[in-house]
Amino acid sequence: MGVRSGDAGAGGRPSPSVDLLPSGGLSAAGTAHVPGRALALDALGIRRRLRDHPRDAGSWGEPAFAREVDLVRRHLAPIATRRSLSSSYSRESFRAATASAAAATGVRPAHIAYAVRWLELGDGRPRPPWSDLVTGRG
């Protein structure tokens, strides 16, 4: 699949939205594998929120929420490919996430942890702990 007009960002690098897609971009049918697409969309949403409102994190910045995100991220660290991460994501269904964290933020810590790992696997750059990302120190 070649690079289409509009796919390259500054310096010839793919745009962030292309970087977020599962390996291989879109399938012939025009849709990505469902878990991979969900992870890409979660990652995009998190990137935007952190970029646009890094210090206005609300409950995302709460220490308990950050601990949960970082705990899940440690469990996901051994996963080495987006395909494996997508597979894990589809099996989890976030049954173990706490209802209080989800109710307070609208997004469960596990969703954030998976999305951050998706970003890491996409560009090969490890991210700092969640509290540093939220406060703009990361």
- Classify the C-alpha dihedral 23-24-25-28 as positive or negative: negative
With 70 as the cut, is the pLDDT of residue 113 above it? yes
Burial class (CB in 10 A: 0-12, 13-18, 19+), 48: exposed
With 70 as the cut, is the pLDDT of residue 101 above it? no
Query: Looking at per-residue confidence, does 126 or 60 come out higher?
Result: 126
Helices H / strands E in the chain, number of each: 7, 0
Q: Could you tell me the maximum CA-CA distance found in the chain, to the nearest angstrom?
A: 45
* Nearest by Cα to 82 from 45, 123, 129: 123
Mean pLDDT of 83-100: 71
Query: Looking at per-residue confidence, does 55 or 8 come out higher?
Result: 55
pLDDT given for residue 99 in this prediction: 46
Q: How far is Cα 125 from Cα 130, in angstroms, rounded to an integer?
A: 14
Match 């995009």 to its residue by tokens.
Answer: 44
Mean pLDDT of 76-101: 77
pLDDT confidence band for 68 (50 / 70 / 90):
very high
pLDDT given for residue 79 in this prediction: 97
- Classify the C-alpha dihedral 87-93-98-100 as positive or negative: positive
Residue spans per domain, the chain: 35-134
Mean pLDDT of 34-60: 80
Q: How far is Cα 41 from Cα 105, in angstroms, rounded to an integer?
A: 17
